[in-house]
Amino acid sequence: MNITGNFIGGKTSLSASNETIPIYDPATGKPVRELTQSTAEEVAKAIEVAHNAFDDWSRTSPLRRARIMFNFKALMEQHREELAELIVSEHGKVWSDALGELTRGLEVVEFACGIPHLIKGENSADVATGVDSYSLMQPLGVVAGITPFNFPAMVPLWMFPIALACGNTFVLKPPALDPSASVRMAELLTEAGLPDGVFNVIHCSNEDAEQLYTDPRIQAVSFVGSSGVAEHIYKTASAHGKRVQAFGAAKNHAIVMPDADLEATVNAIMGGAFGSAGERCMALPVVVAVGDDTADKLIAALTPLVKALRVGPGMQKGKDENEMGPVVSAAHQKKVLGYIDKGEQEGAKLVVDGRNIEVPGYAEGYYVGGTLFDNVTPDMVIWREEIFGPVLSIMRAPDYKSALQLVNSHEFGNGSAIFTSNGHTGRDFVREVQAGMVGVNVPVPVPMAFHSFGGWKRSVFGALNVHGPDGVRFYTRMKTATVRWPSGQKTVSEFSMPTLG
């Protein structure tokens, strides 16, 4: 069986530990390859290699770095289907969703190709007589990324293209559940012309990964995962003097107003709630319907669609493609099913039950059917906690203000949406909702790569968001120079605060 190795110093290698763990295909429940398990010393080696590569890479011109990003983009497009197959075989999402993940990740690469413009800095001539002032945006050094299972290509692509284009070197720890796309992208970066040691991929235990946010050679850490881990990494890395962006859990909500276009809204909710089996930090697991009549219409329209969801393996394409694949692992399947049990126990009305789904020929796959709850209330676990599965909850509110208060009361504030035909209501919602990313008649309001992605409240720890302008700011530090060149003028010593002009 093939073994997915580390990528250190420009080449793939297996760990000296000779230990491996299986990587499972969620569609079948059977192992498809193995993953090397690195030692603490090998993690330190990856950091050292990146540290040694930084000086030369940081002195490489931004134009040269941009050209490597252009080459990388072309190679990613050339190997798009190969990468999609890796994603589907290890994550389980359907084929078109894997291709979509790659497309959204490549948008960040395209943004990074503009790095000569993005790091130009500021310039002011003649801030005083014969004195000019300008700023430099310089790389930090070695930076680290720790990424989640739900987007094995896109989330790393949120991080490393901008970090590398800015002149940093990178150590990536991908998830053990679906790590192979990261290693393949590392190989493509080398083929694109990236010098050895600039980008490294290491597979290790969570304990050994702590080096990535405590080692003094690491200057910044990007993380996406659960809020508990995000907060731990933020506090630990910050205490070790590092810049941190740590993205945690989400519980996104959509308010549906009585004047919303029902058909368009229902179609949007279906994709937002059940796309990628709900394993998205920007999934739409909760709908707050304004008025019982609105809720009743939604339930009536959603019920047959949820029951009819085509659930099965993700590798089928074209007209045979399923709408929803399995969840990522047996453990996660058990967790999602436990939430459905809990919702029923706590008194929510289970309209469509996704438990005990049978996919012919795939009895050992990690499948959960589309699930729909009605009459969910704020005291229920399925309202409070992130399920990260194909479970949609309908809540009821008497009016817009009550619905907004319900949404804003939640501890997470990643994304939120409203469905309405009223421009005034939509505008008020954008201003008043306490979430970092907002959609108006858009169910999954993920910003384009030239904007920045990030939530509010316990969905994020750290001041700067990922990709877009914040991504460039995160991976650079500004230096401001105030310059006077001798011109024969007479000067005297000044002992008070200089006021220049």
Indicate which residues carry an active-site annotation.
Answer: 281
What token pair was written down for 436? 């970092």
Find the angle CA(209)-CA(176)-CA(311) to the nearest 5 degrees. 145
Residues comprising the chain, all counted: 501
**28 touches 365 (CB < 8 A):** yes
Residues paired with residue 478 on neighbouring β-strands, in sequence order = 137
**404 touches 433 (CB < 8 A):** yes
Q: Distance between CA atoms of 365 and 358, rounded to whole angstroms?
A: 9
Q: Distance between CA atoms of 5 and 13, rounded to whole angstroms?
A: 5
CB-facing half-sphere around the CA of 86: CA atoms within 13 A: 21
Region at 461 (left for phi over 0; alpha for psi -120 to 50; beta for the rest): beta
Interhelix angle for 80-91 vs 62-78, to 10°?
Answer: 70
Q: Is the dihedral of CA 461, 464, 467, 471 positive or negative?
A: negative
DSSP of 450-481: TS-B--EETTEESS--BSHHHHHHHTEEEEEE
What token pair was written down for 109? 């690469």
Run of H or E residues at 59: helix 40-59
C-alpha distances (whole Å) from 367 to each of 96, 333, 343, 420 are 18, 7, 19, 34
Interhelix angle for 95-112 vs 154-165, to 10°?
Answer: 10
